[in-house]
Chain A
Amino acid sequence: MKQQLSALVDGEVDVERCEHIFLAAKSTGEVAQAWRDYHVIRDVLREECWVESDMTSRIMAQLDDEPTMLVPQAVTVSDKVTHIRPRFSKYSWSIAASVAAAFFVGMFVLNQPEVGAPTQIADNDTDQYVVAHHNYAPNSATYYMHNVAYNAGE
């Protein structure tokens, strides 16, 4: 799996297999973590700029323990790799730079004290919940929009 990850990050995977898009979604826990780690490692190898964070320092510590992770692996997943497509590798996906993504930051942070009538919730009091509902409930129509509250969380 880690070899596949390496190939993915280096853009050596056939785009038509689409795995680069979906690996992150399909995987959880260790694999998802590794996926992000590889981006950091790759950025380090290329001496690309990235912002210092807890996560990156943790990865640097991990690198000491696992030097082999730094060796680019020969791609062995022959069915997945048909040709080199540098499309993705050209760019810096500094994913680790802000792994603590800001999406939900402040999302549930408490708003100003309630002032409205007790039976009517203040205008933006529950917007964060509405956004979370639209994001994760299987109701599609509301899916293409973002409420104002989405901005408020930034």
Chain B
Amino acid sequence: MDITNIMLSGVGGQGILTSGRVLALAALDAGLDVKMSEVHGMSQRGGNVDAHVRIGREVPSSLIPKGGAHFLVSFEKMEALRYLDFLRPDGVAFVARHEIAPLSPSLKEGAGYVAGVDVALARKAPSLVWVDAFGIAQALGDLRMVNVVLLGALSNRIGELAPENWEAALRDRFSAKVREACLEAFRKGAAHGRAA
């Protein structure tokens, strides 16, 4: 079974599930089967969030096994590290240059962020693409576009999906008010991904 596995990770509220939905809509537009798995509930209160997206001609199950992801798209550096072992030996990690500190229970115990996370990611990832998603989104004047920029950066590598499939998905998912801004953010992300 020829299935492309894309793992999305980040922190609650970053738009991870929305991104997964766009990816799934693009697959549907391309006439492919798709399954996505997500966890709701407790995870919304500042916890880490993931979405498993699997696309192919026939996709029987919805969870990506560890060691089975072709791509990891992470909205946050530490959350990229946490999910890094989902990547295949030939997998690629797209990571936003962004840090969100976890809650530290006591001032004396320190901030609790992984020291040297950049180095750890570079050393451990089979292949690593840094995405300046926040910089690009900021330049576009809307930090909510981070998720679309990341999808753009990923888009060049998903051979099954043509630019028009992505555009149809973005038009489907986003309201008229932000639609053009999303398409622009996506194109900026795609250009960034090609240059990387």
A binds B: no
